[in-house]
Amino acid sequence: MSPATVSRILNGSGTVREEKRLRVQALIEKYNFQPNAMARALSDAHTRVIGMMLADVSNPYYNSLFTAVVNAAYQRGYATMMFNTLSRAELEDAAMARLCEQRADAMIIMGGRIDLDVPDPAFERSLNMVLETMPVVSASRSGRENILSVAVDHPGSMDVAMDYLLGLGHTEIGFVYTGAQFYGTREKVERFRLRMVQAGLNVREEWMIPVKGYDSPSGRDGAEKLLQMKKRPTALLGLNDLIAVGVLQGLLSGGVKVPEEISLIGFDDTFLTNVMTPQLTAVGYDYDEYAAMLMDAVTAAVEGREIERCRLVTPRLFEKQSCAVYGRRKSSLTRSFPPKNAPFAYWPDGSPGGKRCKESLAEQGFRS
């Protein structure tokens, strides 16, 4: 029996006599035969392997998204190969070189130098090397014509957070952030300033608190800076959940009650928000939907199908326990809302946070 006939039987393609098919099937079962994926890749145009390069797998945002992508890839018949670069340039370059050697069908990039506002020439050279061998999909807005992107809507995320805090009556709001060299941070900071101005509120620069990293110790550092101030905001934003967790720990250690004295909201809504006391309110995303969108982009690129160049992931509010109406104290059972100095114009019924704010206030015993 020729190899071509056996191949047709294994792949279920072409016409083969039933007698021959049964003979081959019997041998497969007898010897528990499994096709060799690497051998198949030598003659097949596709390996069904997706390379994934993550900035830092210990960050729960990347971890959540990676886990969801693994599941979405499996459902589409793909295996995944992860490279954790620890946010180091040399590890990014090594990962991209290795992916080219491994003949992956496509590459997904999650964070790192691809998110820089000012492109890094060394990264661009490595990226172009990859693009010569496989399509690349970015889990952020890359701005490159030859790369498909599925990105978080950073301005939209800040809108959700600000709608919520303004709707709760907060007018003195601070922001603990990092990564000014990356476009996501820049977009969030710019949107925060814009929303404050639109609400007729002053941005107090001492409450714009830059910290060193994306981790919880950096968040604690931000909280310590805040604790040294005589005048503090009534609400704070943390750039991500890790920073927000650190801020929460720092405030509580310093004797500041959350949310009674300061409301706190983070971004990403990872598992960390549920294990803290109080649980952290956060703006987050449907990670399964995010992953499905990334895999849709991957399969379109591999198959040469046209698809929207950049798609945005819709943010939503996950309300928990770390935010409260401005001026509320535990001894106050009822209170009219909004306070006289609240920017009521930014709590319209049709706003993203408006309806949920009203429902939350009713649950807390407030009347509008």
Query: d(Cα 228, Cα 165) in Å, to the nearest integer?
Result: 24
12 lies in the same domain as 135: no
Reference 132, options 166, 169, 85, 100; nearest CA is 100
Token code pair at residue 286: 């449907």
146 lies in the same domain as 111: yes
303 lies in the same domain as 348: no
Query: Within a domain: residue 39?
Result: no
332 lies in the same domain as 241: yes
pLDDT above 90 covers what percent of the chain? 71
pLDDT above 70 covers what percent of the chain? 81
Query: Within a domain: residue 41?
Result: no
Between residues 47 and 197, which one has the greater pLDDT? 197
Mean pLDDT across the stretch 98-106?
89
Between residues 77 and 46, which one has the greater pLDDT? 77
183 lies in the same domain as 58: no
DSSP 3-state assignment of 142? Answer: coil
CATH of the domain at 118: 3.40.50.2300
Cα 182 to Cα 117, 177, 185, 321, 323: the distances in Å are 5, 11, 6, 30, 28
Cα 103 to Cα 78, 99, 107: the distances in Å are 13, 6, 10
Is pLDDT at 1 greater than 90 in this prediction?
no
Query: Within a domain: residue 254?
Result: yes
143 lies in the same domain as 229: no
Q: What is the pLDDT of residues 113-154, one digit of tens each?
A: 999 999 999 999 999 999 999 999 999 987 888 999 999 999
Q: What is the pLDDT of residues 67-95, one digit of tens each?
A: 999 999 999 999 999 999 999 999 999 99
123 lies in the same domain as 232: no
* Beta bridge partner(s), residue 54: 84, 110
Q: Is the dihedral of CA 190, 196, 199, 200 positive or negative?
A: negative
140 lies in the same domain as 211: no
pLDDT of residue 2: 57
255 lies in the same domain as 279: yes
25 lies in the same domain as 65: no
Q: What is the pLDDT of residues 338-368, one digit of tens each?
A: 333 433 333 334 444 445 445 544 554 544 4
Token code pair at residue 171: 């007018």
Mean pLDDT across the stretch 47-53?
93
Write the burial class of residue 310 (CB in 10 Å: 0-12 exposed, 13-18 middle, 19+ buried). Answer: middle
- In this prediction the pTM is 0.78
Query: Within a domain: residue 368?
Result: no
Query: Domain limits at 119?
Result: 46-153+287-313
pLDDT of residue 145: 85
Number of domains in the chain: 3
Query: Within a domain: residue 201?
Result: yes
Cα 105 vs. chain centroid, distance in angstroms?
23
Query: Within a domain: residue 68?
Result: yes
Task: Report which secondary-structure segment, H or E, holds 196.
Answer: helix 183-198
105 lies in the same domain as 160: no
Q: What is the pLDDT of residues 19-39, one digit of tens each?
A: 877 887 887 777 676 665 555
* Beta bridge partner(s), residue 151: 312
Reference 28, options 44, 50, 48, 12; nearest CA is 12
Query: Within a domain: residue 351?
Result: yes
Query: Within a domain: residue 326?
Result: yes
Token code pair at residue 282: 């956060």
308 lies in the same domain as 322: no
